[in-house]
Amino acid sequence: MSPDRPDLTALGPIVLAYDNDALAGDAASRDVLDQLDAVEAAVAVLGGTSVRVGMDLDLGRARESLRRLRPVLVVNLVESLGGSDRLQTVAAMLFEDMGLAFTGTGSLAMALSNHKLASKRRLADAGVPVPAGIQLDASGEPVLVGSENVRRGDWIVKTLESHASLFMDDGMVLRDADIGDAVAAVRAAAAQHGQPFFAEQFIDGREFNLSVVDGPNGPEVLPPAEIRFIHWEPSRPRIVGYAAKWEEESELYQRSVRHFDFTPEDAGLLSRLRDVSLAVWKSLDLAGYGRVDFRVDADGAPFVLEANANPCITPGAGFAAAAEQAGISYTDLIGRIASAALRRSHG
């Protein structure tokens, strides 16, 4: 893969936009500080000058800051606004309204990918394999999405539009449950946490994620990663829940290990995962960079769990690790993401 490294020396200021509330949040939210530091350093190596702009629900203040700075590019690190992941789309809408070049996916595609059931419907319509899902309609009645044939089995309850495995633990997995049990669990989770949830068919198998980065010749899939559950108790669901993702001192975190090494027997599966990742990218109209999360069942059939627009780009995290595996340095990765945004704005 070519580094596609831009020279930012002659360009104007580059804004690093982030969510103000993240600075006082949990480990998942505070991760933005590591991203800011790393991207700032990469921009400096590329010859650019960066300015941090914190955003919140006072969009007038953000607009005025951006108007005053007149950035040549906004690096969009906004993952939520006002404590809501759903509102991260508003930041992209503001940049679009102001005619600014910005990194990552546009507002419409971001809204679609953030809504896990809306994206599931789009992908299913495009022939992309997804697990069945259950949502509640406006009257509180269940609606089956993705398959009409699943009536009983294993389910996992998830937030509809929040990320970072929020609220996800072993208790969210239901074994050998019918639709009524899954609906009751969705209602209970929504009542407890004050936000919408849905249930998804639980694919009890291997877990993969594939990162995609835009290039001058279109999107390129980075080396696939598998999350392997090391010394996992047989009765424990194999999931990357909140603790496994963010609590570094926890046993679950230390036993959920990312691997890039595979046997020749996996070649066909990995090729299939790459093809499906590109189909997801196209179907959801992603841009800049993204990540697709998969489960693979006992028969070797892959299912797309979700697509992550603008995934975390902290050094050492999944996306940057995949780039490093492909021989792309962190600075060159930020350069590619910046180049993609500048090409899109000019063309």
pLDDT tens per residue across span 268-306: 999 999 999 999 999 999 999 999 999 999 999 999 999
Cα distance between residue 308 and residue 293, in whole Å = 8
The residues pairing with 158 across neighbouring beta strands, listed in sequence order, are 198
Q: How far apart are the first and last CA of the chain?
A: 22
HSE-up (13 A, CA, CB side) for residue 218: 5
Cα–Cα distance for residue pair 85/326, rounded to 1 Å: 30
Q: How many Cα neighbours within 13 Å face the side chain of 132? A: 17
| Selection from 63, 91, 59, 56 nearest residue 75 by Cα | 91
The partner residues of 302 in beta bridges, in order of sequence, read 296
CA distances from 243 to 161, 249, 251, 253, 256 (A): 19, 9, 9, 6, 10
Q: Hey, what amino acid is at 65?
A: S
3-class secondary structure, 181: helix
Return the CA Rg of the chain. 20
* Residue ranges of the chain with per-residue pLDDT less than 50: 1-2
Which residues in 288-307 are b (16+ Cβ under 10 Å) and which e? Answer: bbbbbbbbbeeeeebbbbbb
In the block, which residue shows the tokens 């059939």? 301
- What does the alpha-carbon distance between residue 95 and residue 14 come to, in Å, rounded to a whole number? 13
The single-letter code of the amino acid at 167 is: F
- pLDDT on residue 146: 66
Which residues does 18 contact at the CB level (< 8 Å), separation at least 6?
32, 35, 36, 52, 53, 54, 55, 77, 78
Determine the pLDDT at residue 96: 97
CB contact burial 203-225 (16+ within 10 A = b; e otherwise):
bebbbbbbbbbbbeeebbbbbbb
Q: Which of 238, 233, 143 is nearest to 182 (CA)?
A: 143
Residue 36 parent element (H or E): helix 27-45
Q: Write down the pLDDT at residue 2.
A: 47
Q: Which two tokens stand for residue 204?
A: 């009890």
pLDDT tens digits for 150-200?
677 899 998 887 765 676 778 888 998 988 888 899 888 888 888 888 899
Spatial distance between the Cα atoms of 253 and 241, rounded to a whole number of angstroms: 9
What pLDDT does 85 receive?
Answer: 82
What is the rounded distance in angstroms from the CA atom of residue 79 to the CA atom of residue 84?
9
Give the burial class of 127: count Cβ atoms within 10 A of its Cβ; 0-12 exposed, 13-18 middle, 19 or more buried: exposed
